[in-house]
Amino acid sequence: MPETTLQAPSSPTPLTSFSEDEILFRDNIHHFAEEKIRPLVKEMDEKAVFDKGLIHEFFQLGLMGIEVPEQYGGGAGKFFDAILAVEEFSRVDASAGVIVDVQNTLVNNALLRWATEEQKKRYLPRMVSEVLGAYALSEAGSGSDAFALQTKAEMKGGDYVLNGRKLWITNGKEAGLFILFATLDPSAGYKGITAFIIEKDFPGFTVGKKEDKLGIRASSTCELILEDCRVPKSNVLGEAGKGYKIAIETLNEGRIGIGAQMAGVARGAWEYACKYAQERKQFGKPIADFQGVQFQLAQMATEIEAARLMVYNAARMKDAGVNFVKEAAMTKLFCSQVAERVTSLAVEIYGGYGFTKDYPVEKYWRDAKIGKIYEGTSNMQLQTIAKLLLGGK
């Protein structure tokens, strides 16, 4: 059998569907990730701490306000641009990818769509230049059943007073601003949910325990504690009692971001596996010369390409103003499945070495698992898809 040369699928396909500006933007992000993020990945994972200098550079590069209009200091880009950034960063480190993802697809997105003009002027310039954001919906008793949350908001003396706890909050340690959901009336169910803009230094607000996680370890995941936390009435996001609408519509877009993250994770693992297969020799030749390994790499690459195209299609639909809810759910579901399969096979291609922390693929495998869990479990995505296919709401 002739010697095999395999190429990593590092460029989007079909290339003709990308503008020159998008290609340049993607390539610049790619090079930054290689030069600045990759050298720090192992240390950040081991210490479970994201490098502050990198976050500062994210702001300097304009990556924390990609869609924010120029009048607020942002890049006035498209949702598709944010998705490209998430994918390219996640190819190197999923923790870097999720920091950019939460900032752009959840926090900034919620402010752009639902904030008053006064709120936009107050917060968006800071989100673009220096303040990391977090999205606080989940609680101990409300995960997939998101609207079973128990954090309570009461009007007292012209301010809202919030009491409760939030769990699993990405960026919790580093964030300075939180889009946080509480209920005005638990008996009203989802109709009592209200979204608030919470600043980290508000009285009664505390960031609690930081979770010790399996994957995306450099990304902080924290508990939030609200004990008579006073929030000005002017910090209600949208309309009181309409927080459920903000949560649902924001998460629909966020799921495309998680799809991009998982596509990036799969790409990163595949590229390492492909390179290793051409270097590792058994029975006198590279293992990439064996058909069994070739078929594995080919299947992996095919699924990655399908996943990426689903991400790009959903993002283009969002930018075009087309209903994308079903496609977003399908994208997150499929991309998380692909990431889990590809990273697992990458470990197997490395053999015993893949099972050690001395080689990079085990981290990709650990990072992939979260894709099936956060921003809506796979079962919740299947439920959404099925309802939409069968004509439900």
What are the catalytic residues?
375
Task: Decide: 365 and 347 in contact? Cβ < 8 Å.
Answer: yes
Question: Position of tokens 């079909």?
Answer: 14
> What count of other Cβ atoms lies within 10 Å of the Cβ of residue 349?
23
Question: In angstroms, rounded to a whole number, what is the distance separating the alpha carbons of residues 111 and 105?
Answer: 10
Question: In angstroms, rounded to a whole number, what is the distance separating the alpha carbons of residues 198 and 177?
Answer: 6
- H or E element at residue 284: none
Task: Decide: 100 and 75 in contact? Cβ < 8 Å.
Answer: no
Nearest to 218 by CA among 38, 340, 80: 38
Question: Position of tokens 């969002």?
Answer: 318
Length, in residues, of the chain:
393
Q: Which two tokens stand for residue 152?
A: 């309570």
Partnered with residue 222 across adjacent β-strands are 169, 210
> What count of other Cβ atoms lies within 10 Å of the Cβ of residue 46?
12
